Chain A
Amino acid sequence: MDFTNYKSEEFFDEFFNATGEVRSLVKPLVDRINSLSKDELKTRQEAANAMFMTLGITFGVYGEQKAQEKIFPFDIIPRVISSSEWLHIEKGLQQRITALNLFIQDVYNDEKIFKDGVVPRELVMSAKSYLPVMKGFTPPNKVWIPITGIDLVRDADGTIYVLEDNLRCPSGISYVLANRSIVKKSFPNALKTMRVSAVDDYCLQLYSTLNALRPNRDCPNSIALLTPGVYNSAYYEHAFLAKQMGIDLAEGSDFKVIDDIVMMRKTHGFERVDVIYRRVDDDYLDPRVFREDSMLGIPGLMASYLKGNVALANAPGAGIADDKAVYAYVPQMIKYYLDEEPILPNVPTHICDEPKSRDYVINNLDKMVVKATNLAGGYGMLMGHQASQKERDEFKQAILANPRNYIAQPRLNLSRVPTIVEQTIEGRHVDFRPYILYGDDLYVLPGGLTRVALVKDSLVVNSSQGGGSKDTWVLKS
């Protein structure tokens, strides 16, 4: 199995240039793969899969029968990013996160950006993720979004765009770390020769980020990670992060709010908590304020939070800035708050709530990717060029019925990375999610999660839709 018959076709290939020559940054890796005997690559891939199973990096598929456990598909051929391109990405992400954070603070406080007519007030206020209860609130250090992940894609001409912001509970970081530890066994020499940046210190950085949120740093209490529990598909990640930081992994029922102080039930009695890294959505966080039927949250949490007795990462209501319609205005936010040109461009976005855009979208559905503004994970999405007429008609009706709920973007030809497909190597489309931490300062992990659409010609990389992942090698300068 090697690159002899590999074809880049008409796409941007991360390994080969337009004339089919191997890009110099990946040459040691390509040479290594070409030098392996026929079955060796496959053997290494199978060893990697077995390792995921043994490590228990699985998610449950729960149906009527006993839960089945599966691993997320993983491809051992990494994606590689040059040091110069990384610098560009890093700067762009820092800029974007800074602006998004200022935007959230503004939306819940002074509303200057509405008053100055840069972002329409109605668009923001109509988002489901807007939480009136947060009005007038400022979180510790004015940081609403300590832990984020931004989805990037590369189009056919090589430009890197921001596809989506994930400002709530972005998952996948444990895969970044697991993928690396496994690829270290698949390609140890190439990893060393190519001078790949280490990703191992993410959890230390994460702990520092959480620590920076303590209401009182002089007499620290516990930091805990709130998980929805073992049946959540990201439970492995929650346990992994808690273990790597040495903090408690707790469920809603492990907490009790007493006199507006959040306590944990410990063997020695109740113990106060300073900071909660919550992996439970806003809606489920506190049944007294949000969904009454939530069994995952902590009754009374919000009252304690709003009094400043406990810090939450990320802050409730931060999702207002990753609404898919609000996304269209991020370039304007960057100019407005920072007086800078955006370093990483947005994908051109049509907001269906705006009549002219809506007409355009409806007349060009076959060229568009339509997304529901309040859904993630590849759900509520129409890939216009691949959809049937019936599906397009259904989306047309849905858009007309609730235009605020939809945006549309032109279809991008996501770049491809060589991927093991049965007995050969073929190009598959990828995106990229780097992770950013905003504590005392802004830290971008030099690496990230490359998600790959394993289905031939598919542009949807979500794990719920047949996607897998790859390790990402950011080269040192």
Chain B
Amino acid sequence: MLSRVADCIYWLNRYLERADNIARFVQVNTHLMLDTSILGDDAVWRALVEITGDHDNFLKRYGTYTEDNVKQFLTFDVNNPNSILESITRARDNARFVSETITSEMWECINRLYLYLESVAHQDQQSFSHEFYEHIKLSNHLFIGLTHATMSHNEAWHFSRLGRKIERADKTSRLLDVSYFLLLAEGEQTRQALHVMHWAALLKSASALEMYLKKYHLIEHHHVVEFLLFDKHFPRSVSHCLRGLESSLLAIFEQTGRGQAPLAYVDNLLTLFTQVTVDDVLGMGLHAFIDNIQTALNNVHDATIATYCYLEES
């Protein structure tokens, strides 16, 4: 396939996954804040901005971490390249670039989502309602379903999966990093019930609570870390995402005869994952471990783009 098209499909899916994650984070936080919180409001909302990695941009223009400020910043802010509005606009731009490669069903799905978002963004009173975020998430799930069911699982499909998985691994690991630090620092002295509620919220932010409970039944922080990092079956765990990356990179390698570099980065990371346990990770420090993951994911990204999207005459 065309290199440019591969690049666009990859980004199209990264942007959609990003919007989906942010919608879920905001939704979960909003619910959490309705209950008594052990943390200050602004600590929780601040954490959300930190997960996206955009707090410099936020501080410059908003100053304080109020609920309204953070929601505006993450949802409709056109000067935040990672806001839901901007992510979906970019996803849709990319979809337009490759509308001959994706199916009409997929294009119409993302186009409808964009038109909906535009109409909400241009209302006098912008809506941060539960229904709004729900709509973003459901449309994204519909898109994933359409990708799965209407498109050949060909090279283009594998590039879309790469975008999904790498973005998801990135977001799950950041979510864990920021929240773990926040909850551990302030949580130990507080009442157990509230503490558990926050860990539950963390799991919900990764759509993981129900599947976690099926496996562990009780909420313990090292189990939460284990589940989100190492679970083999949960589709948002970092490990699961890495296996997805590996299998799609292999499929693309078979098609194109190229791609040793990104595959090597993924395999190194996967090897690391088989060698360490959650106790090792917590022993060495979760933050340092997640830093490693983030660096490796960046390497996978760079190597993928360099291999397939910037072709030089040999």
Contacts and interface: CB of A to CB of B under 8 A. Distances in A.
Contact of A250 (B2, B96, B155): B2
Contacts of A250: 2, 4
Interface in A32-75: 53-56
Contact of A239 (B100, B111, B252, B255): B100
24 contacts: A54-B108, A54-B111, A55-B108, A55-B111, A56-B96, A56-B99, A230-B96, A230-B97, A239-B96, A243-B99, A243-B101, A250-B2, A254-B2, A264-B2, A265-B3, A266-B256, A267-B2, A267-B3, A267-B159, A267-B309, A268-B258, A269-B258, A270-B311, A270-B313
A242 interface: yes
A56 B114 CA distance: 11
A258 B311 CA distance: 13
Interface in B96-122: 96-97, 99-101, 104, 107-108, 111-112, 115
A267 B252 CA distance: 9
User: How many residues of B sit at the interface, in one of the four size bands?
Assistant: 20 to 34
Interface of A: 53-56, 230, 235, 239-240, 242-243, 247-251, 253-254, 256, 258, 264-270
Contact of B107 (A53, A56, A266, A269): A56
Contacts of B159: 267
Nearest to A264: B2
Contacts of B108: 54-56
Contacts of B314: 269
A467 to B, nearest CB: 25
Interface in B213-272: 252, 255-258
Question: Nearest 5 A-B pairs (CB), nearest first?
Answer: A268-B256, A242-B100, A243-B100, A267-B308, A249-B100
A328 B265 CA distance: 67
B111 to A, nearest CB: 5
B67 interface: no
Contacts of B107: 56
Contacts of A254: 2-4
B111 A56 contact: yes
Given A53-B115, A56-B107, A266 B100 contact: no
A439 B139 CA distance: 43
Contacts of B257: 268
Interface string B107-142: 110011001000000000000000000000000000
B112 A267 contact: no
Nearest to B1: A267
A270 B111 CA distance: 32
B313 A256 contact: yes
Interface string B5-19: 110000000000000
B93 interface: yes
Contacts of A230: 93, 96-97
A269 B2 contact: no
Interface string B33-46: 00000000000000
B6 A267 contact: yes
Nearest to B109: A54
A327 to B, nearest CB: 34
A53 B114 CA distance: 11
Interface in B65-116: 93, 96-97, 99-101, 104, 107-108, 111-112, 115
Given A54-B108, A55-B104, 4 more contacts: A254-B2, A267-B1, A267-B256, A269-B256
B115 A266 contact: no
Contacts of B97: 230
A253 B4 contact: yes
Contacts of B308: 267
A18 B233 CA distance: 76
